[in-house]
Structure 1
Amino acid sequence: MRDIYSNVLVKQSLTPAVRTATATGTAVDRNAGGGAMFQNALVVVTTGVITDATHTITVEDSADGTSYATVAAEYLQGTAPAIVAADDSKTYELGYLGRKRYLRVVSTVAGATTGGAVAALVVLSDPRVTPVVRA
């Protein structure tokens, strides 16, 4: 099938929450969806109300799901945002060009009193096996 539903899987890394401290998102396995082994990934970061602080977003990857490192700039399309109070209700997209199996999103918070609402999703696409299995 060539439709988007059969070829894309969306996974949550950072749950929607008001953040006053650094948060490490849940790992997303690019081999999810019935062993689909997705070739492409897009990180989508969304904000709600940001009252204060700087929320610096980084994407981390891992070959084994245990040892994570920040993805080097050459493996990202777009610029990871440093979200501030002027960034209410915005959406940021980062393409991942690396080949590691696991991804997660980290929000590093500095200077927070009341913080801000930040969430992140990982959109997986171009699977080797279709249709994608949703569990």
Structure 2
Amino acid sequence: MKFNRTAKAHWEGGGKDGKGTLTTESGVLKEAPYAFKTRFEDAVGTNPEELIGAAHAGCFTMQLSFFIVEEGFTAESLDTQARVYFEDGSIPQIELDLKGKVPGMDKDKFNELATKSKENCPVSKLLNADISLKTSFES
């Protein structure tokens, strides 16, 4: 299966005093505000780190559900929190905190599948991906 998804960022102004919006192809985010204060302080809006966390938690959890079904079980509930660490201009770490309830499955199998999911979900793989860049400039 192959497909692509798009998201757009719009920014006006400088890094600290500017502001922008984020929009996703699906429309779930439609001109969602982001700015220095939403990223580094406590203002209303989103930021790249929480979006990475949401993407990673969602991808990992869905991947785990597929692996659980392959083993003949069905999850009653899977809840994942992704904590994305920002430090000195980089993201050195993401912690995934998983709570799951899978009737009939033992803890060892659950942990095995969770580890397999962490290693195989597309967003986990993305964190080591090649990134291409295409630019267009107007003066």
TM-score normalised over the length of structure 1: 0.26
Higher Rg? 2
The structure with the largest strand share of the pair is 1
TM-score normalised over the length of structure 2: 0.25
The structure with the largest helix share of the pair is 2
Relative contact order (alpha carbons < 8 A, sep ≥ 6): 1 or 2 greater?
Answer: 1
